A and B are shown apart, each in its own frame.
Chain A
């Protein structure tokens, strides 16, 4: 468990180029998913499932809302120091 030193071998994501490549692949996948939405047949039970990019928008908005609510509403209400119950 020693601190990394200069001599230590380099791992996969120590190289910024690899990180950059990963992000490129990731963003390409996102773009591909957005484009595919217009070309594939959609079998839907609810009408809104046919709206363009419904799942993509919902996933993004839901998660942003989740994190903001957890950070700015829930955490201030429930956060206590670690030994709260020990006293």
Chain B
């Protein structure tokens, strides 16, 4: 019975057969998998669950409630759109990795216990790293290793937390955890790393820009949003999250302004958007949680759309730096329009999707009378328009024209972008269907005159700032350079750590080598040989004296025996005889 399959199973198992298909059949197969998996999901009744017993634990592989279902729907949707976008890329490994990655994300959001959740959580990391490595550049390989190391550390932190938590509470159920002891703190930090909290974030801005073109689309959708789900499940209303989220919304926009690589700009704005979700989860009211998860839903779509459009530019031109691009509206007009829809959505323009979800978080902050937080979120809203809303389309499609004349993106990429853009506009204009899927009943109207006017003013005058700064030449020119981020501490710190360890063991080896080879061993050697020779002489000389050997002949025999033992040139039989004697002595002594 198909409805008995766990939600991620079809994608994960289906990924194994990808290499068996060719040509059109492969395209059909790739698109059929998420569709089938979605049907499998809708066959489940809400509230139903699937559990198995494993090593004495009751593992819940499918816990369906409103929170997990919302993430389940959007993960299926974006898997389908991402695969449609990736159809023209002929790389089985990439397709399979993307399917396992999407399946793991589904497995994680539907897992009702911490053990299966952890397994899917780790599968997310392992499968996603192939989306980085598939790019095949030296940079992507190194970046993938760093990604793997950081996530392995985060995964271990999570595992340690789960072990402590389960030992203490005696239950493996994944429900509200709350920040109250060491175990929950470690779980909290494990989630936080995948959520790209400040100081834990550099893995994201390091690796996403190095991923393959469709890889970045998938990456932007799953890892951080699964972490947002996990926080919404385990730590709603944890007040520290409000501040973490607010800082996340603000600090990346400064980096985004001076960043040259457009996919890195998008990575910074990804952290900025996840900040709104984290903040909403921290506030924890029904409105705030609704805002956080609906913003996750919308962000998956518009961030994917932005990564798709910049990816299409990369696909056609081979360039991604703002310094190398410009004027592409001339030859890639549709991609340009889709990118602008994504930009308008992330900026929360009225009639675009960001508008109907971001404002819920801000209203929740205002309801809680969090003045500073509200100002930080408002600043971030203006800032995100500045760097993602204007900078991305402006530098890629307008700006100075370096003379690139290329073709419009392939049909499958255009179709994927077109559907995603359509959804962004649809959700922004008719938010009702999305609101009906949210965890709590929605009692919120986004389209009020004052809200529409305020937001439009905010955005238009942010754009005025951009326009005037560009026209006056004050806007920072794009420069080929890297900007140090907190990963400097990881990268330089780990190099320093390795140097320290090498120095320590080198010194230890040299010291102990010196003591052994120049100190103890020669002495032992001398004592062993000389002592043995003297013992033999003592024994033999007595024997020779008794047998009447005297004078010069005795001296000769003594010298010969001593030299033989010191040089080890005794007859083999004698050595063997002595060894046998020694063993016999030992044998009788130990009886």
Closest 4 CB pairs of A and B: A63-B465, A59-B461, A70-B257, A55-B457
Interface residues of B in 453-485 (CB under 8 A from A): 453-462, 464-467, 469, 474-476, 479-485
Q: Are B484 and A80 in contact (CB under 8 A)?
A: yes
Task: Give min CB distance, B239 to chain A, whole Å.
Answer: 20
Binary contact readout A29-64 vs B (1 if CB under 8 angstroms, 0 otherwise): 110011011001111111001000111111111111
Q: Are A71 and B481 in contact (CB under 8 A)?
A: no
B233 an interface residue at 8 Å Cβ cutoff?
A: no
A12 an interface residue at 8 Å Cβ cutoff?
A: yes
A residues with CB within 8 A of B: 1-4, 8, 11-13, 26, 29-30, 33-34, 36-37, 40-46, 49, 53-64, 66-71, 74-75, 77-82, 84-85
Q: What's the A-B contact tally at a CB cutoff of 8 Å? A: 158
> Complex: how many Å from CA A44 to CA B317?
47
Q: Are B469 and A67 in contact (CB under 8 A)?
A: yes
Task: Give min CB distance, A77 to chain B, whole Å.
Answer: 8
> Complex: how many Å from CA A29 to CA B464?
11
Other than the given A40-B449, A80-B483, 13 more pairs (CB < 8 A) read: A1-B404, A3-B403, A4-B405, A33-B460, A40-B453, A45-B367, A55-B458, A62-B378, A64-B465, A70-B254, A70-B476, A81-B482, A82-B480
B44 an interface residue at 8 Å Cβ cutoff?
A: no
Interface of A is mostly: helix
> Complex: how many Å from CA A80 to CA B488?
11
Q: Are B462 and A44 in contact (CB under 8 A)?
A: no
With A41-B450, A59-B382, A62-B383 in contact, do A82 and B481 touch (Cβ < 8 Å)? yes
Query: Chain B: which residue is nearest A75 at the CB level?
Result: B258
Interface residues of B in 144-188 (CB under 8 A from A): none
B residues with CB within 8 A of A: 253-255, 257-258, 317, 329-330, 363, 366-367, 371, 374, 378-379, 382-383, 386, 398, 401, 403-406, 448-451, 453-462, 464-467, 469, 474-476, 479-485, 491
> Complex: how many Å from CA A78 to CA B128?
29
| Contact among B257, B406, B462 for A1, CB-based, below 8 A | B406
| Contact among B405, B450, B458 for A56, CB-based, below 8 A | B458
| Contact among A2, A29, A67 for B474, CB-based, below 8 A | A67
With A62-B379, A78-B484 in contact, do A67 and B460 touch (Cβ < 8 Å)? no
Interface of B is mostly: helix
> Complex: how many Å from CA A86 to CA B509?
30
| Contact among B258, B330, B383 for A79, CB-based, below 8 A | B258
Task: Give min CB distance, A30 to chain B, whole Å.
Answer: 6
Task: Supply 18 A–B pairs (Cβ within 8 Å), ascending by A.
Answer: A1-B404, A4-B401, A4-B403, A33-B457, A40-B453, A43-B451, A45-B367, A55-B455, A59-B461, A60-B462, A60-B465, A62-B382, A66-B383, A70-B258, A71-B258, A71-B475, A74-B255, A79-B481
